[in-house]
Amino acid sequence: MDIAGAGVVVTGAGHGIGAAMARRLAAEGARVVVNDLDADAAGAVAAEVGGTAAPGDAASETGVAVLVERATAALGEIDVFVANAGIDRGRGLDASEADWALSLEVNVMAHVRAARLLVPGWVERGRGRFVVTASAAGLLTMLGSPTYSVTKHGAVAFAEWLSATYGHRGVVVQAICPQGVDTRMLHEAGPAQEVLGRETVLTPEDVAAALVDGLRDDTRFLVLPHPEVGDYYALRATQPDRWLGGMRKLQRRLDEYDAGTRDTTAHDATTKENH
């Protein structure tokens, strides 16, 4: 596609990957609507890129409708919708009902609700593009977070269904699936950072560059900023037992690291108390 002049909406664009996407798309000549729950952040990024701020909830039925309405008013037509907003809430089986419900709302239903409003018009026009930031967790898994893993798998599944159903009618659907990215979410990942290493961590700008490359290739469904994710995905599909064995080894390392951290903390507390 020709990015220059395209009307693009990016959700969750006040910080991190979304902000980098908005900046890069604007630099490529796109007219960008910046959405984020953080109104100040959305306004700041929009002002920086010469775009339009549309702060608000991009997940709820009402919020998505308002966003699409405001973006259409600003752009005339929405050519590309980048469903980037996502959350990581809850850990292990202790993840609460509220964590699960909110994860499903933001990581899956936000995409469904946006597509309901956009796809019919795109089919009528014969063109339109829906991009989901699904994370490598949507192709693989994310140790420690069942809510994130399950809902990101759901995001990929919905994007795949959308492409299969409407791809022949001019609607291009893509899923961008980065692995480690230097964002607030990674910084809050806890021991996983130390155990899994940071050698493959990309910047948000790297992911934005991968998005732009993907937008220029209508035949690509998966956009992989970390190319090695494609190899992991193939292994998972063709050798699931081997794949799960490797994941269990990683989980064991996480467990051992966590236990060691607790022992060190307890020792430090005891030492402090004794002195």
Any idea which residues carry the catalytic annotation? Answer: 148
Give me the long-range contacts of 193-197 (CB less than 8 A, separation at least 24). Answer: 194/257, 195/250, 195/253, 195/254, 195/257, 196/250
What the block records as the tokens of 269 is: 């507390």
